[in-house]
């Protein structure tokens, strides 16, 4: 069985990590990692990482939102490499996948990782996506919430299946000594280091976190917070941190390629998002034995059980987030108890092997005569 995973990428984020994990998983299909090279906004990080991992990869050039040469090159690749299933992972790749597989005896499936809908342009693209997805042979979502949204768009229920994300837990078991990075960031052994990891974009709730950190620092002066990632809000967030007097408490690291070491240096992961599917950062933090504070959005409540393996909050509530951060900062035993349960849960329920097996079962069902 040959599967091409295709994405129009904006960086190395959750969807890209899922693709790499699926392509690298042993015992599954013969997997390719494909990316659309958007000349106006090029992001080839997923291809660079695929090549570093020794995975087969393919790049499809695109000069505009509707470049018919991209469709032709994709169709040619599918035929020449005898691909059985094209698996697309966001709206642009969905539209290209729909177009390229017409009149070909190739199955087309798609995973909806999450629709953000944060501006009018995105909402238009997502409306187009919902139309073409009706023609997919099968659609996967990473949460029941996203599945419900697709059903409301008129997509047949029998086509849509929930497959939760998974990670390779072993990737986070050999991190370096935590003091190395903490020293570089001027974080002492007595400080408590929280982190928010992901794209610097409105839906991630960084501004809510900053308000919470402002209050929490007054109660626990040894609190520090890493902001890992890049995005359109970078300058605004840096300005906000300065205005709140958090210079020295908020540490912007940019995009990091040593994430297992970053997690090892931290004590708490905070996910303050308004919109999510199933964040890979939460699973990675659990695998790294961190305590997790997260908002109750998307599939997060199916992963984090409030008070048992983490803390769940409503989105957009800086006062509640402050209380949660302060409580964990003051209580190392509670952090360790939550982290230990979270580690057991991610190993049992959210491994990359479990995720790959679920996808493979659906693939095989599609190809049966």
How far apart CA 270 and CA 280 sit, in angstroms, is 13
How far apart CA 182 and CA 178 sit, in angstroms, is 6
For each of the domains in the chain, give its residue range(s) and CATH number, in order of start: 2-166+351-367 (3.40.50.2000), 170-349 (3.40.50.2000)
Report residue 285 as tokens.
Answer: 């933090």
How far apart CA 64 and CA 102 sit, in angstroms, is 21
- Judged by DSSP in three states, 126 sits in helix
Q: Over the chain (369 residues), what is each successive 10-residue block's mean pLDDT?
A: 94 92 89 93 93 96 82 96 97 94 94 78 84 96 92 93 94 78 94 97 96 97 97 96 96 94 96 94 96 96 97 98 98 98 96 94 93
How far apart CA 60 and CA 70 sit, in angstroms, is 6
Q: Which pLDDT does position 66 carry in this prediction? A: 65
β-strand pairing of 192-197 with 223-228:
parallel
The helix-helix angle for 332-349 and 318-330 (nearest 10°) equals: 100
Q: Model's pTM, two decimal places?
A: 0.86
Q: Which pLDDT does position 255 carry in this prediction? A: 93
Q: Which pLDDT does position 118 carry in this prediction? A: 63
Buried/exposed code over 39-72 (b: 16+ C-beta within 10 A; e: otherwise) = eeeebbbbbebbeeeebebbebebeeeebeebbe
């Amino acid at each position: 069985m040959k599967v091409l995973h295709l994405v129009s990428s904006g960086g190395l984020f959750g969807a890209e990590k899922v693709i790499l994990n699926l392509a690298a998983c042993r015992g599954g299909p013969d997997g390719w990692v494909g990316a659309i090279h958007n000349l106006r906004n090029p992001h080839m990080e997923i291809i660079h990482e695929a090549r570093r991992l020794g995975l087969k990869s393919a790049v499809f050039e695109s000069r505009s939102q509707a470049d018919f040469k991209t469709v032709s090159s994709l169709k040619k690749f599918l035929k020449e490499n005898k691909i059985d299933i094209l698996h697309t992972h966001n709206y642009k790749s969905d539209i290209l996948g729909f177009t390229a597989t017409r009149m070909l005896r190739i199955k087309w499936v798609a995973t909806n990782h999450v629709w953000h809908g944060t501006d009018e342009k995105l909402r238009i693209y997502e409306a187009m996506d919902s139309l073409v997805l009706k023609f997919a042979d099968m659609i996967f979502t990473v949460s029941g919430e996203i599945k419900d949204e697709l059903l409301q768009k008129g997509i047949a229920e029998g086509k849509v299946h929930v497959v939760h994300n998974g990670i390779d837990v072993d990737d986070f078991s050999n991190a370096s000594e935590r003091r190395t990075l903490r020293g570089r960031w001027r974080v002492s052994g007595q400080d408590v280091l929280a982190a928010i990891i992901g794209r610097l974009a409105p839906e991630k709730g960084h501004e809510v976190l900053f308000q919470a950190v402002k209050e929490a620092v007054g109660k626990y002066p040894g609190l520090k917070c890493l902001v890992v990632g890049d995005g359109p809000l970078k300058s605004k967030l840096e300005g906000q941190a300065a205005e709140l007097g958090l210079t020295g408490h908020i540490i912007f690291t940019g995009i990091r390629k040593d994430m297992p070491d970053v997690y090892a240096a931290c004590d708490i992961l905070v996910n303050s998002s308004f919109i999510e599917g199933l964040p890979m950062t939460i699973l990675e933090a659990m695998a790294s034995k961190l305590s997790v504070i997260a908002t109750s959005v998307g599939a997060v409540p199916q992963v984090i059980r409030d008070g048992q393996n983490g803390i769940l909050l409503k989105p957009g509530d800086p006062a509640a987030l402050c209380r949660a951060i302060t409580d964990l900062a003051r209580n190392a035993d509670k952090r360790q108890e939550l982290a230990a349960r979270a580690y057991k849960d991610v190993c049992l329920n959210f491994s990359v092997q479990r995720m790959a097996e679920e996808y493979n079962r659906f693939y095989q069902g599609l190809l049966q005569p």
